[in-house]
Structure 1
Amino acid sequence: MADSPTTTVLDVRREGDALVLSLAGEWKYGAKLPAFSLVEAQFREKAPPGRITFETKRMSGWDSALMTYLQKVGDLATLTKTEMDTSGLPDGAASLLKLATAVPKKEGTDRDVARVSFVTSVGNTTLKFGNELNETAVFIGESTLSIFRFMRGKARFRWRDLWLIVQQAGAEALPIVALINFLVGVILAFVGAVQLKKFGADIYVADLVGLAMVREMGAIMTGIIMCGRTGAAFAASLGSMKVSEEIDALKTLGISPMDFLVLPRLLALGFMMPMLVLFADFIGIVGGMLVSVSMLDITLQQFINRCIQAITIPQFSTGIIKAVVIGGIVAGAGCLRGMQCGNSSAAVGMATTSAVVTGITLIIVTDAVFAVIFNILGM
């Protein structure tokens, strides 16, 4: 028998083939419960009982503390294949225990889950990466076929959806694109002025701002903005449709989700990104111009003339080429993660996060690849 200061009592005894657990006192949260080893000892030190029964007539109160203890007894009974008779428990406790054991535990919730070896972990990660690569390749292939169907006039989607997405990804994105790129232009002008002023070459701040914006910063910063804004929205929208089984309904009706849902988003962002980048380049140069004219010994006409001389057609075209590719990356990453979304609300959030991370990563990698290619081509 084990007694605690809070009058929680457990008496363990054998009656024939049955193990009787007699409970008394207040089995409530905060009470010091009897050691569970008292019950386990009956299975280790003696022959396992045929069944487990309970006596609770002397119990004055109970709450979740009792249920936790009974759950341990139930787990022990299941492990040793011992019958557990709950007829002696209070009606509420017996019902709760039955409800708790009706649904099996979710895998991985136990604290003492067996640790996976390093080799197994590497293998699982490799398989997961292979599956991810396969799904991405399938998505790219289906998107390409959908674009070909559009070019042949056989893609089925609503044009009003396309124009709505164009508005959301274009005109509605102008304020945030303008703000960020204006500040980027200001920062470039300040950074350039600090170094170039030492050599009396303040005028070349215009070259620095102009080339940096049209070649790199305009496309990259706009792409990152659109990835966090529009790409995430694409993933959340398609993920919600996946959860509500709207995508399955389209398949049942014989409508391709790639044509109806993905294609308008690819077309809209692929069309709007170059325009947004052009706008971002202009705003960024304006930001650098304001700093140069107000803080350096450069006139407005000098700044404009230097920008015109520095920004040639090859320099300008590099940013537009990047803009088209980045637009496809942002839309593709958002739609891919949305189509891969699970069937729960939590999965929608995970898909949205994954779309942003994937999009930004691919934008940086793509820019690095373009830098190597343009260097080889002398652009």
Structure 2
Amino acid sequence: MVRPESTQVASAQWLQQDNAWVLGIGGEWRGYRGALPDVPAALRQGEVRFDTAALRSWDAALASTLWQRLNALARPPVQLDLSGLPAGLREIVSLALSDAPTTDVPQPRVGRIAALGASTQAWWSEGRRSLTFMGEVLLSVGRLLRGKSGMRWGDLAWQIEQTGPRSLPIVALVSFLVGLIVAYMGAAQLQRFGAQNYIADLVTVGVVREVAALLVGIVLAGRVGAAFAAQIGSMRANEEVDALATMGVNPIDFLVLPRVLALLFVGPLLTAFAALVGMAVGWLVAVGIYGVTSLEYVYASAQSLTLPHVLVGLLKGTVYAVLVALSGCLQGMSAGRSAQAVGDATTAAVVQAIVWIVVAASVLTVVFQRLEW
């Protein structure tokens, strides 16, 4: 093999030996900012090796230059053999080449059947992950009932304070506005038949049974579910969840269970509060705009506000709140270990919570109607 002269001057040249191309590098390359020779035009395939026996010194400039020259060769049918480079230079070049973009490599086209199969498999995996997580939460509740849970009651109280009282302003605002819309639009239709006295029935049954619970669920999804996903996702990114497991603390007991129980307690209370706000708005519309007396409104509301309507509304609000907690904690526990992954988990938590709420609302409405509740 012909090697570059072992001199103090930086030198490099391409040599062909048998079926391989050899880049010989010699001399002092520390502080030298010259370029390596261009890749020979005949080098289209085969093996590329390096001879650095005459190389006396080098720095990052040589590594950068090598990467620029070899980037186009770091894919078949050319095979790079970096074993001839010094250890430090070999590690830098190998790392740089491993991150080289390969956008020019044509990607195989995926057929429609294969794409459908991949989507179905992803959907099935997501469903199994959700069911597994819910099973772990139920096991955690069982440990709590047996007195063997790692949950701290102080964490539960703190979560109740964060999700309950701090959610009252936004719940009141949304309930007021939506209740105003329901009462005004419903009263406008009833007025056409001279049935303004039924405004109380419409608002009371609609708000208490359906609207209040749905509003609370959506508000909690945007405010609390996103916060749960961001908090737990950040802990995963910082490896705090792994640290808890290493110390023998169950992350489900320590992180998930307090949040689920907090919304289990807070859900029906917020639903009752939202229903009261909606009924008060209905009173304002009926009395202030359509001339219904306060006594008539209160009496009609009391007559229409039966126990089944109240129980159905509170049950729905509780179910929606628990679904929000489960979706937020699920996405947080499944988040990746980067800032972008935490943001993706937060978005997915809100979307998943709303989808679950809509599905649960449809199922519960059909079930209760069949039961004539």
TM score, norm. by length of structure 1: 0.77
Give the structure 1 partner of residue 273 of structure 2.
Answer: 279
**Counterpart secondary structure, 2:99:** coil
- Answer yes or no: is the 8 Å Cα contact 1:242–1:343 preserved in 2: yes
Please identify, of 131-140 and 160-169, the stretch whose mean Cα deviation from structure 2 is larger.
131-140
Q: Superposed, which structure 2 residues align to 1:109-120 within 5 Å? A: 112-120=106-114
Q: CA deviation at 1:134?
A: 1.6
Give the structure 2 partner of residue 74 of structure 1.
Answer: 71
Cα distance between partner residues in 1 of 2:259 and 2:340: 24
**Counterpart secondary structure, 2:192:** helix
Cα distance between partner residues in 2 of 1:106 and 1:164: 48
- Answer yes or no: is the 8 Å Cα contact 1:19–1:49 preserved in 2: no
Aligned length: 326
Deviation readout 1:46-79 (Å, 9 max, x if unpaired): xx688699xxxxxxxxxxxxx99x8586324643
Q: CA deviation at 1:114?
A: 2.6
- Answer yes or no: is the 8 Å Cα contact 2:46–2:77 preserved in 1: no
Give the structure 2 partner of residue 358 of structure 1.
Answer: 352
- Answer yes or no: is the 8 Å Cα contact 2:217–2:321 preserved in 1: yes
Give the structure 1 partner of residue 223 of structure 2.
Answer: 229
Give the structure 2 partner of residue 371 of structure 1.
Answer: 365
Cα distance between partner residues in 2 of 1:72 and 1:322: 65
TM score, norm. by length of structure 2: 0.78
Q: CA deviation at 1:268?
A: 0.5
Measured at CA, do residues 358 and 40 of structure 1 come closer, stay the same or move farther in structure 2, by a change above 3 Å? farther
Cα distance between partner residues in 2 of 1:116 and 1:325: 41
Cα distance between partner residues in 2 of 1:226 and 1:50: 61
Deviation readout 1:63-122 (Å, 9 max, x if unpaired): xxxx99x8586324643326699xxxxxxxx99x94873433478x55743332222212
Deviation readout 1:280-332 (Å, 9 max, x if unpaired): 00001111211221111211221111111111111111101111211210111
Measured at CA, do residues 74 and 213 of structure 1 come closer, stay the same or move farther in structure 2, by a change above 3 Å? same
Q: Give the AA of the match of 1:333.
A: S
Question: What CA RMSD, in Å, does the superposition of the two structures yield over aligned residues?
Answer: 3.2
Deviation readout 1:189-248 (Å, 9 max, x if unpaired): 111122111100111111111111111000001100001100111111111111111111
Q: Superposed, which structure 2 residues align to 1:155-174 within 5 Å? A: 155-174=149-168
1:144 aligned residue (118, 138, 148): 138
2:290 matched to 1:293? no
Cα distance between partner residues in 2 of 1:106 and 1:340: 28
2:200 aligned residue (198, 201, 206): 206
Gaps in structure 1 of 5+ consecutive residues = 1-13, 21-38, 54-66, 86-93
Cα distance between partner residues in 2 of 1:354 and 1:147: 25
Cα distance between partner residues in 1 of 2:244 and 2:78: 49
Identity in percent: 40
